[in-house]
Each structure stands twice: as structure tokens, then as C-alpha cells.
Structure 1
């Protein structure tokens, strides 16, 4: 089996995008984006540094985005769509044909969120962004299990000497406060070096909280096993953070992602760390004391999540999720800013912010708002070289938590991206155009 891994991250957009995606051919080589005659311009960043850009042009809208029509599981039929956070979509060319993959954080029937436990990682596959999107066929691996579920803490019974599927720190456990505990968050699926890999995170209710890597011993549906470096713990060192109910020393770096460019495979951890993988992909180097990206932080720096790096046209884009918090200014107007929590500050939108550099490590430019409500996403390139990002509409707080909108939250969405060219070097959610074709 041969493959080309397309540049790592991208979003889909719009009803128009859906129609175009449906017409995509089913065979392709490596993606090559045609150079546009004109590039859109950068928008001046709001000042002072740290203010959020909330213009409607940066929202996923009907003209630039759509929700993926993923095959429904029995649990999804009442809602009519898949409940998903941390939506991840990517495209790989395998044996000369594009293969689109989708996954994310999901919940179990009867719970409103993906906690205090959920039941693992599901994967969907399609020949194009428009679909048809089918659950991965896991029937040969687990004939009696739910279709499409490729990993779960409940698979601990599959552990064998020399082959660990679920480590002790990933197993379900119980306490008097929450009952059943343990969930997996923010999975990503990657294909390189002839193998499929899943990187994901055990969430806040787990015995240990942090990121880990699974390797398939078969195809995209698995079966998957845990790599050696995660048999005892997540990646990196324990750190301060997380809710008070997390046991001391259990919290590690969350939201792990993979960068697979430049002949290297790298782990990216929230919100400022990275590491190289060993050649055998069984651990990172160094395993502790991880290096930091060179960033231009806000003052003060808020809590950031969902970090990943995407390379496009020789530039590196470091993307984070950050809350746009609103507050009242002295003149009565509303301030939108990436502020830490504080009196009078209200969570409004979970945004994607980005910065650009000439090197993976940085130094990175000042950040800009790349997408409103598109936080905790990934960027990727489709097999025709078009740029996309994912989104999910955060149901916990803010705009999408409003009772009038909550039914439209937690979705597997994709939105089109635009590049401002070699001079501007920015990626934005595709903005609206005026008659001249310019933003």
C-alpha cells in the first residue's frame, strides 16, 4: 500500500463547497494548489494586541461551511446528527485514491457531555468531503461491538503479554462523586510510514490525564495498540492545571497532535510544547523536559487549548483555541478580547487563533483571529490542494450554549480557508467578497 500524506490540517465550507466537493474525482496524486491571480489582503489586527476580531466574515457561514453528513450510529438517530466536539478531518492519498477520515470526541447515550466517561474513539471514512461518510468497518475485528469504534477503555480485555491495548491509567474507574469515570478526547488519525496512527487524550475524569499514541497493526479500522512510551503515563511531565477533582500528579499535557512534515514526525502538545518521535514511533525524544515554541504571548496570557502546526507554502502556522471573552468598556461598548477569566468577563466564542513562522520552532508572529467559533480544530488540504478547517460550535459556554442554539452545537463541521499569499502569509476562514472579489 502506498500513500501520500497531504498537508496536515484543513476545513471544509459551505453549501457551495458541498456541491463542489461532490464533483471531485476519485483518483489523484499529491495535492498541488494552483496559484491564484490575486491574493486577498490581510486585515489590520485589532489593537492593542490581544483583542479578538469578531467580524461575521470570520464565522463559518452557509456560504463557506457545512456539517459533514456522517453515518449515524443508533445513539445518533434521535438527534439526527452525530454529537461531536474537537472535530478532526483529514485527507490522505492511498494507492492513488483520496481517503478522507473524520473523528472527534463523542458521548454515550444518556449523558449530555463527553464525561465523566465516554466509550472510545469512532472513525468515519469517505471518498470525498461530500461523502458518503461511512463508519469504519470494524466487524472483522470485533463482530459483536458497535461499528466504527476503533479504541475504547473497554478493550482492556484484549491486552496480551507484549501487546497493550489499554494501559492501567486509561481504564475506567469509579468513585463516590462521579460514579464511572474515564474518557478519551480529541483524537486525530494519521497515515504515514505505511501505518495508521491515532493520537488522543485521556480526559479530566481519568486516572491520569494526558496524551497518548496508538498504532494500528492492520488497516485504518485497526486493531490498534498502545506504543511503549505510554504504557505507564501520558506524554511529558505532570503539570499544574485542570479541575480540582483531578488527583495530584495526574495532570499531564493534553490535546496532543501530530505534525508529519519535513521528514520528521513531531508531537504538538497544548499549549506551547513539542517533541520529535523516535524513528520506531514508540516514544518521543526527549520523553520529559519538552522544548517550547517561540511565541508572541498575550499579556496576560489566557489558557489555550488544541494546539497544532500546519505547513503551507513553506510557512508554519501554529494554531490554538482561545475564548473570546466580552466585557463592558467605560463608554458602554463591548470589548472582545482573549482575556483570562475575571470579573465582568463572559465567555462568548471559542475561536481559532493563528501565528506564522519560517521555522517549526518559531519565532512565530503575533497571533490573529483565524476563525470565530472555530476553536479546537485542525487545518488540512483536500486532494485538489484546497484549504479547509474543522469546527464544532462549543456547547459548554457562550454563543452556542444559548438554549436557542444548543441543538446546532457539537457538530462535525468544516469550513473553507483562504491564504493571503506569500506577502500576507495568513490563513483565515474564507471571508465574504465584495463586487471586486476582495474581502
Structure 2
């Protein structure tokens, strides 16, 4: 588990460098309380901010924040591919900070520590090509485009190759039903439409109309996040289901790192019905697979989680009012039902 002071580790494989004590890093208490499914990781892989998309070939592509300590440094953007969500192959370092990073390759200081790392990259298949959006702490947001039309690249800056697009973290892209493409980031409180080829802004940034109150919480929905007119504070994501937009960001809900979503009929809002999605499943995205099933990614980022900083998938459903809940069938459960991922 990465952190600014170092890396905590618990496992059979010995590390070649000193690690910090594991302690209570992953108690599994949210599983014990039946707040979240008892799932196993997709891979024994150190990965934060897990994000998965469906590619043009019908396969699945996964990325996220990689490297043993992304609070200090990493190499760039790495990518994995699967045809069934269960078996993953490594496609490699598809974009290198040293080789192609440009403005993003500069070293900066973070709390007195030299820092250079890509945070929360996402891969998207839009308009027949692959794009990667990302952020660099202490720098800003960027968007890459595949020069080959293949998910493994090589990639180049889609626009603004000389500087970041905007200060902030956790960029995400969304393609609407009409083909329009949108960019938001951080807490999702502003959004912009991009040109069709993602080569620039089509319009100005606008504020999203978020709920006036953040009262939500999971089971009894009786408690509130701190602050007003907000969802969470980072990890923005956006998807659409049955004509409604779901805008989410990660918040701290009773000590859990959870997505807090709200819904709207227009992409800019007003958004309503803020709610904690699957408890502890924060950071990443919600997507629909080729068979029509809905999933939320997760990676374990709080002490209530059963594992930490590994890629995970939880199948989700929606209640009568449209709130995101865990599905009864969990193909990646440690006690699986007859349902399967493939």
C-alpha cells in the first residue's frame, strides 16, 4: 500500500526494499458488516484507481495508477486487456513519462519530496479511437490520443502538448448518446464539451448544478457528508443509464472511500438523489459490459476494505429510484454463486 512516508506490504513475496508495518491497513470490517461483497482481486497487482472500458473490439481494457509508490514516482501509463473480465494480459507501458511525457515529465516537490507520477489515468474508446486522460499532482490534466488507433498506442497529446489543460486531478471523459464528448475532473463540479476529435474545447467550462445538500449515506441515508453543493472531493466519473446522467465523486462516508453519485436529466444538472454507491468501492468507474451487466471498479483505499490497492470488480444493480447498489450475484466473490464472469 503506497503512501508518502513509504509502502506498507503484507504478502508471501518478500520485498527487495524496506516496507512499513501493515497494521490495520485492511481489516475487512465492511465485508463482515455485509456492507460490501466479499470479492477477490482480479489480479495480484499493485494498482490504484482501477478503471475499465469496453474497446472497439469488444474486449476490456484496464488501467490505473501503477508503481509501488505513486506518491513519489512512476513510469507512466500501463494497460491490461481481457476478453472476459477474468483473464488479463499485460500490454505494457503504453505511454512513458521519460519517452513521451513532455510537460508532464518535469519533477516537482510534494511535501518536501521529489515527485513525478501519473495519477488516475483512464482509457476510453471514443469515435473509433482510444484516448487516455490523466493527471499529474502539482501540475494538471492531460489527454492523449492513440496515433495507431490501437489501445497499445503509441500515444500523443490530443491537444495542448506544451502545457496542462487545467490544474486539478482525476480527469475523466464521457461520450454522450449524440456523440458529444465531455471532460470533468476532481469533484465533478465543472465540466466542458470537447471538439469531436478531442483536439480542443468546443465550449467554455461550466459549473455543474450539484445537490444543495450532501445528505445521503448508505443503508439508512440519514447522515451527511461535510460541505454543501458537493458530492465527494476527488475521482470524478460520469455515465448514463436509461436516459439519466450519473455524476459521481469519491467521498469519505463513515470512514469508507466510496463513490457518491447523483442523477440528472441534463449533463450539467441539476443533480439530485445523492447516495453512497457500493460502500468502499470508490475510485475508478462504473461501466456496462458487452452482455449488458453493470459493474463498478474498486481498489481498496480504506481500512474497512478486505484488500488494498489491487484491482477489483463488483457487479452492481439499481434500486427503484435509480440508486446504485450491489447486485445479488457476484462473479468475483470468494463464495461465488453459479453466475460467472464469462
Instruction: Give the TM-score, by structure 2 length.
Output: 0.76
Note if contact 1:93-1:383 (Cα within 8 Å) is conserved in structure 2.
no
2:322 paired residue number:
425
Relative contact order (alpha carbons < 8 A, sep ≥ 6): 1 or 2 greater? 1
Higher helix content, 1 or 2: 1
Q: CA deviation at 1:285?
A: 3.4
1:179 and 1:304 mapped to 2: Cα distance?
24
Q: CA deviation at 1:184?
A: 0.1
Structure 1 residue runs of 5 or longer lacking an equivalent are 1-52, 70-80, 137-147, 156-164, 237-251, 325-335, 337-347, 434-439
* Counterpart check, 1:126 vs 2:126: no
SS in 2 for 1:154: helix
2:108 and 2:49 mapped to 1: Cα distance?
26
Higher strand content, 1 or 2: 2
**Range with greater deviation from structure 2 (410-419 or 293-302):** 293-302
1:56 and 1:367 mapped to 2: Cα distance?
23
SS in 2 for 1:283: coil
Listed as ranges, the matches of 1:28-427 within 5 Å are 56-59=33-36, 61-62=37-38, 65-69=39-43, 81-94=44-57, 98-108=58-68, 113-131=69-87, 133-136=88-91, 148-155=92-99, 165-168=100-103, 170-173=104-107, 180-204=114-138, 208=139, 210-218=140-148, 219-229=150-160, 231-236=161-166, 252-262=167-177, 263-271=179-187, 272-286=189-203, 290-296=205-211, 297-298=213-214, 300-301=227-228, 304-324=233-253, 336=254, 348-394=255-301, 398-400=303-305, 408-421=307-320, 424-427=321-324
Judged with a 3 Å threshold, the aligned counterparts in structure 2 of structure 1 residues 358 and 58 are, in CA distance, closer, same or farther, namely farther
1:375 and 1:285 mapped to 2: Cα distance?
30
Note if contact 1:57-1:431 (Cα within 8 Å) is conserved in structure 2.
no
Note if contact 1:58-1:430 (Cα within 8 Å) is conserved in structure 2.
no
SS in 1 for 2:98: helix
Note if contact 1:418-1:427 (Cα within 8 Å) is conserved in structure 2.
yes
Judged with a 3 Å threshold, the aligned counterparts in structure 2 of structure 1 residues 57 and 92 are, in CA distance, closer, same or farther, namely farther
Judged with a 3 Å threshold, the aligned counterparts in structure 2 of structure 1 residues 176 and 427 are, in CA distance, closer, same or farther, namely closer
Q: CA deviation at 1:175?
A: 6.3
**1:238-287 CA-partner distances (Å, limit 9, x unpaired):** xxxxxxxxxxxxxx121110101222111022211110111331122346
Structure 2 residue runs of 5 or longer lacking an equivalent are 1-29, 215-225, 331-342
**1:118-148 CA-partner distances (Å, limit 9, x unpaired):** 11111000111112x1011xxxxxxxxxxx0
SS in 1 for 2:266: coil
Note if contact 1:107-1:115 (Cα within 8 Å) is conserved in structure 2.
no
Q: CA deviation at 1:173?
A: 2.3
1:248 paired residue number:
none
Aligned-pair RMSD on alpha carbons? 2.5
Note if contact 1:389-1:415 (Cα within 8 Å) is conserved in structure 2.
yes
Judged with a 3 Å threshold, the aligned counterparts in structure 2 of structure 1 residues 127 and 54 are, in CA distance, closer, same or farther, namely closer
Judged with a 3 Å threshold, the aligned counterparts in structure 2 of structure 1 residues 227 and 432 are, in CA distance, closer, same or farther, namely closer
Q: Size of the alignment, in residue pairs?
A: 284
Q: CA deviation at 1:292?
A: 1.2
**1:152-185 CA-partner distances (Å, limit 9, x unpaired):** 2111xxxxxxxxx3223x1142669856421001
**1:104-127 CA-partner distances (Å, limit 9, x unpaired):** 10114xxxx212111111100011
SS in 2 for 1:222: coil
